[in-house]
Amino acid sequence: MKAAALQMVSGLSLDGNLQAARTLLEQASQTGCELAVLPEYFCLLGRKDTDKLALRERAGEGRIQRFLADSARELGLWLVGGTLPLEAADDGHVRNTTLVYSPAGDCAARYDKIHLFRFDNGRERYDEARVIEPGHEPVAFELTARDGQSWRIGLSVCYDLRFPELYRRLRANVLLVPSAFTHVTGQAHWETLLRARAIENLAYVVAPAQGGVHENGRRTWGQSMVIDPWGEILAQQAEGPGVVSATLERSRLAQVRQQLPALEHRVL
């Protein structure tokens, strides 16, 4: 199954971001990808954290969700919509939500980001909890590829990457990590953490990211990549928009898990 991590440099315009996402999705479809994953905040990186409140949608309704459903159906893709803002318990917060759509355009899974990023190095400050309400449940779903093989896909978002216990719960063949890592934290930890999650779970990792200098002045790390269960990077891109794709092979997954059955050796 060919999978694509779509790298974006999302800006302030919902229209512009959806158009950019559609262009990348079409490129992924044209190159034979079955699974395409957009980055976190693909629909908006605003000037202020509160800007996302104006775009919040009710589950099952709204322009962003229609865009994802229509794109999945029209392009024949399993489409993972990075994250978008869905309604939370109060008007001052949203859920930072990943939605999965089947090639029929049906919503197949929903994951609300559990771990909320906070960082302050004296120059950059982030605190997602100010406007995001956390989720609580790990989510994985079953994907049947065109060749009839079934894949268990585990969902996570960005800062979740630092919490390996989440990935153990997912028990997945493929781990998705749509992200918007800052340049500072990405340069230090992004590749190391991604490869660690692949190695310790003997799973493929598909990690699309925001990558570049955004209209709001923020710089994200990029380096979207696809990693195999041995921790080898199959494809990657530095900064700028693009499609990072690679073929996921069940035979490779089985080989690695047979040669090193670490998942069967767990004690704790």
Whole-angstrom distance, CA of residue 181 vs CA of residue 198: 18
Whole-angstrom distance, CA of residue 234 vs CA of residue 251: 16
Instruction: Judge whether 43 counts as a catalytic residue.
Output: no
Neighbouring-strand partners of residue 142: 152
Q: Which residue shows structure tokens 């719960």?
A: 169
Pairing of strands 125-127, 118-120: antiparallel
Three-state SS for 91?
Answer: coil
Instruction: Judge whether 113 counts as a catalytic residue.
Output: yes
- Residue type present at position 89: A
Instruction: Judge whether 61 counts as a catalytic residue.
Output: no
Structure tokens that stand for 33 in this block = 């990808």
- Active-site option among 40, 128, 133, 239: 40
- Active-site option among 34, 57, 113, 133: 113
Buried b or exposed e, range 50-66, using 16+ CB within 10 angstroms:
eebbebbbeeeebebbe
- Active-site option among 57, 133, 158, 239: 158
Q: Residue 67: in which H helix or E strand, if any? A: helix 63-75
Q: Residue 197: in which H helix or E strand, if any? A: helix 191-201
Whole-angstrom distance, CA of residue 104 vs CA of residue 72: 7
Asked if 131 contacts 91 with a C-beta cutoff of 8 angstroms, the reply is no
List the catalytic residues: 40, 113, 158
